[in-house]
Amino acid sequence: MKDYYMDHAATTPLSKEALEAMMPYLTTEYGNASTVYTYGQRAKAAVERSRRTIAATIGAKPSEIYFTSGGTESDNWALIGAAEAGKRGHIITDQIEHHAILHTCAYLEKRGFDVTYLPVDHEGHVDPDAVMAAIRPDTLLVSIMVANNEIGTIEPIAEIGARLQKHAEETGQRILFHTDAVQAYAHIPLDVDELKVDLMSASSHKLNGPKGVGFLYLRRGVKLPSFLHGGEQERGRRAGTENVAGIVGFARAAELACGVNPQPMSSSSSTDTAATSTAGAHAAESSLAPMAQRIAQESAVRDHLIKRLLDEIPYTSLNGDPTHRLPNNVNVCFKYIEGETLLLLLNEKHIYASAGSACASGSLEPSHVLRAIGIAHEDAYGSLRLTLGLETTIADIDEVVDLMKPIIAQLREQSPLYQAISAHPSR
């Protein structure tokens, strides 16, 4: 039976191109990038080329990119680092952030920091007015994700960033602005200057790169203490032997997803000269065309899936913004069914999806995101997240929906509430 992988938001398959780029650094080019002899220097050069590629994808300078073990570490470093740099103070975030943000905020609350968790509307939008209204004299950080990992809603990051910048100009209060871009990076265009963010987190395995590697963008001039201690790697900011193969694979995946092709760096160049900045700017411009093609392709498949689910399966509703959402994200509630049972039955048909974030898959509670946007407790249990990849076709969608319909009908026949509604549809 054919497999239908519909959980790309949890992780993506490693692309052939990324694996090929990694292989030399898993075999013959095994040098430690922190050593001074030839093997190590070749590894270091590969890391710096990758840093330039990643920087170009978001309009950053290479010196502003720090490689990490993934999005969770990057989020932790951004929040804990900003908090420690400020000693004491106030943090603003929202109720539907990934647990890498929410749990870190809870940790900081135990250490004496105050956190405001902003509500969202029924489509999952954070209100920029609410962000500004929450600012206090001791506010040191705002953290709002680019796009929600469960419902796909894209947040008004550029507007929030512009208003925080204006606030700083008018009052002199400099508030750091962090965004978790793990789900959005390489799926929609991102430019750190347009967004006016100071910190951005991303992860490789959401864009057909390897697991275990990500980056933190740290705007020049922003001072954060080191998060991991024990070495001088990453210019003394993040200790630990560089994951050279992972970094190279990440850069190759980002290069393909965003369409960048930075010029090779000469041995005499630093990672942050005017020349490399210019090359990065040109590379970022070139990313728009292939990314636009990817967005158009994924959006067409996504919209086809949404239409078929809503048109053909009664008592089904879409969660999140119907249009301003990630191109590969579909999140729906099927009333009168239990989502975990649905997942098990779909698995038997080789359809692989999720009920929410993979990082919260062990929880028995309904999604905090769905509850925050006003979904009833019992309906939240009937939610399903289907996230697509470039290899997902219209034909795949048609086959998946055709397989899902009898399963959902079967589960509803076992629901006393559904039977009552069906018997008296006017009630």
Neighbours of 260 (CB within 10 A): 26
Q: Which residues of 229-239 are buried (b: 16+ CB within 10 A; e: fewer)?
A: eeeebbeebbe
Q: Find how far residue 65's CA is from the centre of its chain.
A: 17
- Element of type H or E holding 386: strand 383-387
Task: Catalytic residue, from 105, 258, 333, 359: name it.
Answer: 359
Pick the closest to residue 200 from 96, 325, 64 (CA basis).
Answer: 64
Separation between Cα atoms, residue 280 and residue 274, nearest integer Å: 10
* Contact indicator for 328, 294 with CB cutoff of 8 Å: no
CA angle 285, 290, 295 (to 5 degrees): 110
Q: Is-catalytic flag, 359?
A: yes
Write the DSSP assignment of 231-264 as a string of letters.
S-HHHHTS-S---HHHHHHHHHHHHHHHT--PPP
| Cα-trace Rg, the chain | 22
* Contact indicator for 24, 43 with CB cutoff of 8 Å: no
Write the DSSP assignment of 288-348 as a string of letters.
HHHHHHHHHHHHHHHHHHHHHHHHHSSSEEE-S-SSSB-TTEEEEEETTS-HHHHHHHHHH
The secondary structure of residue 413, as a DSSP letter, is H
CA end-to-end distance (rounded Å), the chain: 42
- Element of type H or E holding 140: strand 139-143
Residues 6+ apart with CB under 8 A from 219: 64, 192, 197, 198, 199
Q: Which two tokens stand for residue 400?
A: 């998946």
* Contact indicator for 136, 182 with CB cutoff of 8 Å: no
Residues 6+ apart with CB under 8 A from 388: 6, 8, 298, 301, 302, 305, 328, 329, 330
Q: Which two tokens stand for residue 208?
A: 């057909």
Active site residues: 359
